[in-house]
Each structure stands twice: as C-alpha cells, then as structure tokens.
Amino acid sequence: MSSGSRNLGFRYCVVEPPEQLLKAGVIAARVRDESRELVRSGASCREICEKLESRIVELGASPAFPCNISISHIAAHYTPGIRDDCVVGEDDVVKIDVGAEIEGYIADTAVTVSLSEKHLGLVEASRAGLEAAMRVLKPGVRLYDIGKAVESAVRARGFKVIKNLSGHTIDRYTIHAGISIPNYADRAAWIRRIQPGTIFAIEPFTTTGRGYVVESSTVNIYAYTGKGARKAVLGELESRIMDYIESKFKTLPFTPRWLPSNMGSPNEIESALKLLAKRGILHAYPVLVEAGRGVVAQSEHTFYATKSGVIVVTDREQPEL
C-alpha cells in the first residue's frame, strides 16, 4: 500500500532477515504473479480480491491488508466494500497491490496489468522506475538518490511520477512505519539513508495526468491506530467491532467486508466505522484518484537491508542486490 509523507525516525530490525519475512515475501510474490491471470475484461473486482486474499491464506500467511485493485485513474486504496464492487473494462489499467503477513512480518508488492496496448508504455515506465531504484540500492543509500533514480527513468519515457504517493518503511504489524521513500528527487529526503535492518517498500506510481492524487469520499479500508479505544465511550456495536479488530487484525489494515455479517447491517457497520475513525480510534484510507484523471500504473517490491546488501523480499528467488 502507498504511503503519505510522514517523517519520523527509522525503526531498526535485526540485521539478518527474519525467516517469517522471507516466507511472507515468497508468498506475496507468488500471489502477485498469479493475479495477472485473473485480470480480464468483465471480471468482478470483488472476486479477484477475494481469490487473492484466500490464496495468501492457502499458502500459509495472512493478508497484510485488503487486496487493492485500483483501476485506471484510481491510483490506490480501492478494495470492494460491503456493498460496492467494480468490473474490469476492456481498456482498463489495473493495479493489484497485495501483502502477506506472518507473525506481523509484512511483505508488500504490486503489479499493473494493462488490457489496452496504448497504456503499455505507462506500465513499462513504472517498472523501469522500480528497476532504476533497485540499481542504486545499497545499505546507506540516500532516499533522495532512490527518488531521483525513479523520476529520471520515468521522465525518460515521457511520463510523470505521482509525487504525493511514495514507498515506505515497514515495521512488525505496521505497514507504514513512518518514513516515506520518494518517487522523485525530494530535497527533504537528502540526509535520510537506508540502514541495515530496515524493511522498506519502493513503489513508483506513473501517470499521464497531473502527477498528484486527491482523496475521494470512498473509504473501504481502515486500521486500528492503537489509541483511544478503551478511553472513549463506545456504543455496544462499536465496542464489539473494536474487540474483533484488536483480536483479529491488531494494527493491520482491514476492510468492512472482513467483519462478520452477523455483527450488524451494512449501514450499521459502516456508520460505526466512520464514528470510530472520527474519534481517531481507526485510521481511514480514502480511495486516491489522480487529480487530472490521468491513467496510473504502479510497480512495487519490498526490500530488506543487511550490512552487505539489500534483499528483494518479494522476488520469488530473493536475490541480494
């Protein structure tokens, strides 16, 4: 999943990669690659997401967040809700963003499938941006240099990066751990460097539009912030929802369609989640759309920095760069 631009301190992990992370990476990579076969004209977005989420479980992990399926000018954070769905069109550009989690260790990866030849260059620009970033990766690399490499590769192909979407560091049970990894030469990222023990995702978003996203009114993904649930005065339904969220998802993102159907009506559940978000107990992830309604493509890998190199966690072979 994409990140905003919060700038906190790095949170270090052990220098050798946890086995749970490596296993989650292989599972996420496999499911990402299998997703290509599901993207076809007329396919239900709900069916695609549910198949991929189930596949993650079959392979021995849990979804780290709801499968994101963001089509054409929708850049990120769309997953079908309790009642809404979408259908893939014959000319659509479909971004599939999946994550696998084992004991809180998260692997996050994405691929774009274009059903129209006219957008293949846009998709290739996103892949090229990711590959350019990978060529400069090493322990101690500046985040500025990563972003510069991405932007240069994308511009050389005639497209723009989306500047207010970025990669991110990852912690245990935390998909966005506080540090944003830019997709452009951001001077604010000049002094920050990738340190050994860091888990991080790089995800270039490319577009034919203005180069930035805005929030829509649709929210189908939430996450527990870890704050306020026991201090707030909650109603019966809100309390039951929070008990379920804390036990089932902890601080990982979830979607209302993952909640038990006997918990309440769709209207009741959606209203309760909005209230919990308003009180700061839940974090809401609005669907993000390209400001000029340009088409958007995305590529993403998760990485782990050791003292000697950088492991591509979401590569099926997991080579060290």
Please indicate whether residue 119 is annotated as part of the active site.
no
- Distance (Å, whole) CA 282 – CA 151: 33
Please indicate whether residue 186 is annotated as part of the active site.
no
Please indicate whether residue 50 is annotated as part of the active site.
no
- Catalytic member of 53, 97, 145, 151: 97
- Distance (Å, whole) CA 193 – CA 179: 10
Torsion of CA 147, 151, 154, 159, to 10 degrees: 130
Please indicate whether residue 300 is annotated as part of the active site.
yes
Q: Could you tell me the maximum CA-CA distance found in the chain, to the nearest angstrom?
A: 56
- Catalytic member of 124, 171, 238, 300: 300
Helix (H, G, I), strand (E, B) or coil at 120: helix
Scan for tokens 């490596």, then name that residue: 22
Tell me the sheet residues that pair with 76.
Answer: 288
- Catalytic member of 101, 108, 151, 186: 108
**Strand order, beta sheet including 167-170:** 180-181, 167-170, 199-202, 301-305, 310-312
Tell me the sheet residues that pair with 224.
Answer: 282
Please indicate whether residue 176 is annotated as part of the active site.
yes
How far, in Å, are 84, 128, 172, 270, 320 from residue 298 at the CA level? Answer: 23, 11, 24, 29, 23
- Region class of 313: left (phi > 0), else alpha (psi between -120 and 50), else beta: alpha
- Catalytic member of 73, 77, 119, 176: 176
- Catalytic member of 92, 186, 203, 290: 203
Please indicate whether residue 108 is annotated as part of the active site.
yes
Which residues are known to be catalytic?
97, 108, 168, 176, 203, 300
